Structure 1
């Protein structure tokens, strides 16, 4: 997986900051392909430590966010109106990515239909479509900014929570509290 991403980023030719979680059991020298950092020097930075993701996403120079589309990262990326390059791996990430692709806030990295794998060309294509190709980028940016309005609207988010909690409270106060409590455990 790491090798496909590195090759795709290198082929795309765009600037990047990559917070890479080092795979277990792999020596530091073996994480990235030989010469990758030298070939991308001046336009790319790979860090294998913790990074302040929200502070980075808040910076004006960020052009897009390559994300697996977990709920938290997805929300953080949209909070700052960034178009997405989506690379879901497991859990809720696939449905989240399909939903965001349907809303045209970014592009999901193409996968092999037989085994779900992706390659450097899929990474390159998605990065270039979201970051470089003006026609597609314009659409993704506009739609990401529309989603930003929704995600950043605190009153709207509080209303959603209230609308979710109210029926639960009604259920408990209607004399069904033991059944409700059993349902939650």
Structure 2
């Protein structure tokens, strides 16, 4: 089983080890998912906030058991953990020592981290004239080149997150209030921007209305922070290029990812209402200024710098892949002898 989720996320699911057969998942109400499960033996804040749970679960997805017409994702994931011979996780020992060791205990099977699978060198070579995204990159690079080093807030929430009209408005006005230059990739709900916003921020900010080469943008020296949804691929890219993260989660595992970054002081979560997830333009402005410019945000910048030495070390990350391949070769006879599951 290859999990695109981190070890901390996988550890949220019920253990499958025979030695833990008596351990029951006592999380029955949605509010129960705002605290760590009882099989995590050490202190952690990696859990959902209430508004994240409310977005994630509905009547169908709380169902459990083989007889469900549409078993929940939670049930399906837990069943997978029981059936597979090994768990492969997009993670590294330097980031998640405790959780990687815990997974071995919870499931009584090999746990192999693949490293963080960072973007490879050719993907962010700004001088590569043959790159397929050159037409998009040239005007973006031209604008970024005019900005001061480490001052630009890059804003992108992935392809699946869809901020509501009210959220788009508050993000926009927050960026305006911050006074910082920004590059915002907003491929939908353009008509929901506040009246006059683009005119008032012309020159200082860009609202980019199509696909953008995120890795190249993050690699540019003018970028000082990344306002992100917390998808792990985006997190890896940000840390690879030493960009602290201002987090605004929307769905799936993003809440867990945000807590991981919060615990390690590499990302700052924009303050939100616990029940409905709403936030204000003031909280957006204060958050981006804190992380990118203010002395109080230095801890985030420093910690991301330290972890860049892990995420951005290609040789170190390649060794994780080599170890994974070695595991597959060593165990190929066992793995090939298994009957298909289905």
Q: Normalising by the residue count of structure 1, what TM-score does the alignment of the two structures yield?
A: 0.85
Shift of 1:71: 1.7
Counterparts of 1:116 and 1:165, CA distance in 2: 42
Counterparts of 1:155 and 1:40, CA distance in 2: 42
Q: Which has the larger radius of gyration?
A: 2
Report the 3-state secondary structure (helix = DSSP H, G, I; strand = E; otherwise coil) of the residue aligned with 2:277. Answer: coil
Q: Does 1:129 align with 2:290?
A: yes
1:57 is aligned, of 209, 212, 218, to 218
- Bigger Cα displacement from structure 2, 164-173 vs 75-84: 164-173
Q: How does 1:12-161 map to 2 (within 5 A)?
A: 12-23=178-189, 28=190, 30-136=191-297, 138-161=298-321
Report the 3-state secondary structure (helix = DSSP H, G, I; strand = E; otherwise coil) of the residue aligned with 1:64. Answer: strand
Counterparts of 2:311 and 2:337, CA distance in 1: 35
Counterparts of 1:47 and 1:134, CA distance in 2: 30
Which has the larger helix fraction? Answer: 1
If asked which structure has higher relative contact order (CA below 8 Å, sep 6+), I would say 1
Counterparts of 1:70 and 1:114, CA distance in 2: 22
Shift of 1:106: 2.3
Shift of 1:166: 4.3
In structure 1, the gaps of 5 or more residues are: none
Counterparts of 1:79 and 1:56, CA distance in 2: 12
Report the 3-state secondary structure (helix = DSSP H, G, I; strand = E; otherwise coil) of the residue aligned with 2:207. Answer: strand
Counterparts of 2:340 and 2:331, CA distance in 1: 13
Size of the alignment, in residue pairs? 176
Counterparts of 2:263 and 2:324, CA distance in 1: 25
Counterparts of 1:182 and 1:130, CA distance in 2: 49
Counterparts in 2 of 1:182 and 1:170: CA distance versus 1, 3 Å: farther
Aligned to 1:182: 340
In structure 2, the gaps of 5 or more residues are: 1-166
Q: Normalising by the residue count of structure 2, what TM-score does the alignment of the two structures yield?
A: 0.48
Shift of 1:162: 3.7
- Bigger Cα displacement from structure 2, 159-168 vs 91-100: 159-168
